[in-house]
Structure 1
Amino acid sequence: MADTANYPTRKAEEWRYSDVDALQTLDLAAINDWRSVTVAAGETYREFFHLDKTDDVELHRLRVQVGDGARCELFAVNAGSQLGRVEVEVTLGKGAHFEFGGVTLGGEQTTREFVTRTIHAEPEATSNQTIRAVHWGRGVGNFLGRIDVARHAQKTDAAQDFKGLLLERGAAANAVPQLEIFADDVKCAHGATVGQLDEQARFYMAARGLSPEESRKLLVRAFLADAFAALDDEDKQGELLDQALSAVGEKL
């Protein structure tokens, strides 16, 4: 995630699956504009992203320093622009926690992506990232998640979970987990799956009187809800899900 004096290319790992051509609509200053946030020891920071613009590019780049025993929570609905990208770099202090939940949605020839780097710099920190992608047409959903564990950052507990749901042939979902671990007493897990709607579940629901449209909507809603399960605000959970389902629209 290093800053660059040139436009990114797909040769860089963090831009491998991105729409780098769309970036040409931005100047380099905008591309290299990182916003910084510091979370004081023991405090909690929460932020929501909703990408729904129709511009060529909507780009958010954020660096967060999380103090000892502090907590950072980020939740995102990425459903806008030709290229919608949220890039986050988080450095965790002792006993700190990072929670990230996000969904990418889109069709046509759009690209929506999350790129994260979680640096476990001190012992006993935890992190959890849950990403869901729903795409159709020739839409692409990407998640590139890197976890770095320093040599003395023992008792680290880090997890990433990515699932992609493709509603039509031609759509794609890419997950690239990266782990660089120098400590030996850690728990680091990642999982990635991509598939289509569960036809057995749809048949089960239809047998109980639900229409195909209702079944489809319920299954997609449940799939997306996983990304926001860690959010302890039911009203905000509902708002995020409504934003996501609105983006899927007539595909349901």
Structure 2
Amino acid sequence: MAEAATLPTTRDEDWRYSDGEYLRHADAAAINHWRTIDVPAGETRSEYQIHNSGDAAPGMVDRLRVHVGEGGRFEAFHMIAGGKFQRVEVEVTLGEGAHFEFGGVTIGGGDKVQEFVTRTIHAHPNATSNQVVRAVQWGRATGNFLGRIEVARDAQKTDAAQNFRAILLEKGASANTKPELEIFADDVLCAHGAAIGQLDEQASYYMAARGIPPQIARKLLIQAFIGDAFENIADDDIRQKMLDDTLAELDGDAV
């Protein structure tokens, strides 16, 4: 007999920054549902998603498990903008010589809680992964990134990196990050970095001194900031659309 699905709570480490009110009333079966993708050896799969369920929506959780075969490649680029609570969770297991590329942006104000959670399992040698997440928040909104990298004992020559940066446009906004590395191999390159702060006012003044209106200058700086997350999208049109759709979510008052 199958076990009944249970709801996570903010006492669970992987849900510690989530919206507890949403979790208390969520549908257990829905929140525990995982999409699955299998990438055959030597092939590439890509997905590009914009998550904007609207401010009236109570919340959304999208969970994805991916297995990438030997020499394969999986790319995922996501933008979270809407809803009171939105969470995108990706778990990837990499075969020998496989690659995982992830780019994500959270952007929003009000009291939204937006988060990416990733688990990258380097199960075999010579696999690589790269994750870039950017958060732009204002009001009392929160942007989160929990990223876990696991390197198995036999996964020599692993090269894994993750980078999170957040810009808080207003004093009440916040961001949280929790990078984790669990490494059992000894010939690896693994790195993570994180920074949370305000928009570079010196750059804004520099642009204003050259006749660029302050609001446009700030928007250009935000565009460059979030562009990092989409930089590795090979298709120019898709990359530009992801960037344009993200910038369209900016609140004029916040900028």
Give TM-score, length-normalised by structure 1: 0.97
Partner of 1:6: 6
Partner of 2:125: 123
- For 1:14, the aligned partner's letter is D
Partner of 2:181: 179
Aligned partners of 1:8 and 1:20 also within 8 Å: no
Aligned partners of 1:97 and 1:126 also within 8 Å: yes
- For 1:35, the aligned partner's letter is R
Aligned partners of 1:146 and 1:177 also within 8 Å: yes
- For 1:119, the aligned partner's letter is I
More divergent stretch after superposition (16-25 vs 161-170): 16-25
Partner of 2:165: 163
2: distance between equivalents of 1:162 and 1:181?
Answer: 20
- For 1:203, the aligned partner's letter is Y
Q: CA deviation at 1:6?
A: 2.2
Partner of 2:16: 16
Unmatched 5+ stretches in structure 1: none
2: distance between equivalents of 1:113 and 1:86?
Answer: 6
Q: 1:112 aligns with which of 104, 111, 114?
A: 114
1: distance between equivalents of 2:6 and 2:94?
Answer: 30
Moved over 3 A (4+): none
Aligned length: 250
Q: CA RMSD in A?
A: 1.2
Partner of 1:213: 215
2: distance between equivalents of 1:10 and 1:4?
Answer: 20
1: distance between equivalents of 2:90 and 2:40?
Answer: 18
SS where residue 203 of structure 1 aligns? helix
Partner of 1:203: 205
Q: 1:136 aligns with which of 117, 127, 138?
A: 138
Q: Confirm whether residue 37 of structure 1 aligns to residue 37 of structure 2.
A: yes
Aligned partners of 1:58 and 1:80 also within 8 Å: no
- For 1:10, the aligned partner's letter is T
Aligned partners of 1:25 and 1:56 also within 8 Å: no
Q: 1:232 aligns with which of 209, 231, 234?
A: 234
Give TM-score, length-normalised by structure 2: 0.96
- For 2:93, the aligned partner's letter is T
Q: Confirm whether residue 53 of structure 1 aligns to residue 48 of structure 2.
A: no
Partner of 1:28: 28
Partner of 1:87: 89
- For 2:159, the aligned partner's letter is D
1: distance between equivalents of 2:36 and 2:25?
Answer: 24
Q: CA deviation at 1:29?
A: 0.6
Q: Confirm whether residue 153 of structure 1 aligns to residue 162 of structure 2.
A: no
- For 1:23, the aligned partner's letter is L
Deviation per residue, 1:224-243 (Å, 9 max, x gap): 00000011111111111111
Aligned partners of 2:9 and 2:23 also within 8 Å: no
Relative to 1, partners in 2 of residues 1:70 and 1:210: Cα closer, same or farther, differing over 3 Å?
same
1: distance between equivalents of 2:212 and 2:111?
Answer: 32
- For 1:63, the aligned partner's letter is R
Partner of 1:62: 64
Q: CA deviation at 1:141?
A: 0.2
- For 1:228, the aligned partner's letter is F
- For 1:241, the aligned partner's letter is L
1: distance between equivalents of 2:74 and 2:227?
Answer: 20
More divergent stretch after superposition (205-214 vs 4-13): 4-13
- For 1:120, the aligned partner's letter is H
- For 1:132, the aligned partner's letter is R
SS where residue 30 of structure 2 aligns? helix
